[in-house]
Amino acid sequence: MFNPIDFQRWLPPVILSFAIFSTGTCLAQGTGVMYGTVKDPSGAAVAGATVEAVLTDRGTSRTGTTGVSGDYVFSAMPIGSYEIRVSAPGFQEFRQQSVTLNANQNVRVDAALTLGSATESITIKAEATLVDSRSAVMGTLIDDRRLTELPIDGRTVISLAALLPGASQVSAPQTFTGDRSGPTVSMSGTRSNYNLFLFDGQDHQAVFRNTGLNFPPPDALQEVKVLTSSFTAEYGHNAGGVFNVITKSGTNQLHGALWEFVRNSSFNARNFFAASIPQLAQNQFGAAGGGPNRKDK
């Protein structure tokens, strides 16, 4: 027999457990790896050097030390723009600014230390060439600039998959009316419903037909990472592609956007063989905002 008292007693622990496991999955999917080697002017490895990765927009940081071979690795790093600081006794401080880390990416930042006092520093402002040599995954990044500046019919980000190599039969409806009407893409010849759609690391698919679900407007998204082949076992859900959609996170500053996208026949030219311009009136409104729950946290 159903007992309301027992249900109320077990409900809070169940909700808490779900939140904990969901948060862990989100952090695992929306992160990357940062690594590198620290050397002295002669090219020898510097062991015991302090390496600090500072997430510029949030003010948070991760600190570690190099091993005997001068190597360091930061795993499960939140995506964003970083400043890398390397210091060691007898050397000037090394700083590398504007190091961008995207989802599922391995970024290498090597540091060449120069002899000098600890109060001196060398800052490199130009962004390093980021070549992912630790992973064999094939994929494409659709960053926030492309999301907001490329024309998207209906403001559905999955429609941008038509620009990817190997993608065909792209269907990205503006509204989701049932399991058969969700976004679908044929990736490298696979069936159109053989893809894995992730939203901040969580499964974002229709249960029965395995199609995708619609995502928020592009202005609320940070990036879309599309993995096409050779991805790791954690994505072994389907044989097609993996669409990992990441929302914008909070920063130390308040930010937002208010928009209206207009498609109207008043802006269109008449077809030479048509007697008039077809009637068209489409207005899409929206807004997005973000900020810190707590500064530097």
Give the pLDDT confidence score for residue 12 in this predicted structure.
52
**CB-count burial class (<10 Å; 0-12, 13-18, 19+) for 213:** middle
- Given a cut of 60, is residue 9 above it in pLDDT? no
Cβ neighbours around 52 below 10 Å, total = 17
pTM above 0.85, yes or no: no
Q: Strand, coil or helix: what is 6? A: helix
Superfamily (CATH) of domain 138-247: TonB-dependent receptor, plug domain (2.170.130.10)
What is the arithmetic mean of pLDDT over 71-99?
Answer: 93
Q: What pLDDT band is residue 27 in, cutting at 50, 70 and 90?
A: very low
List the domain boundaries for the chain: 32-124, 138-247, 255-290
- Given a cut of 80, is residue 20 above it in pLDDT? no
Contact at 8 Å (CB) between 157 and 133?
Answer: no
Q: What pLDDT band is residue 47 in, cutting at 50, 70 and 90?
A: very high
Strand partners, 38: 111
Element (H, E) at 20: helix 4-29
Superfamily (CATH) of domain 32-124: Carboxypeptidase-like, regulatory domain (2.60.40.1120)
Give the pLDDT confidence score for residue 234 in this predicted structure.
79
What whole-number percentage of the chain has pLDDT above 90?
A: 31
Contact at 8 Å (CB) between 195 and 187?
Answer: yes
- Given a cut of 70, is residue 14 above it in pLDDT? no
Strand bridging mode 80-87 / 71-78 = unpaired
Residue-wise pLDDT tens digits, 161-201 = 888 888 999 998 888 777 778 899 998 889 998 999 999 88
What is the arithmetic mean of pLDDT over 82-87?
Answer: 94
**CB-count burial class (<10 Å; 0-12, 13-18, 19+) for 278:** exposed
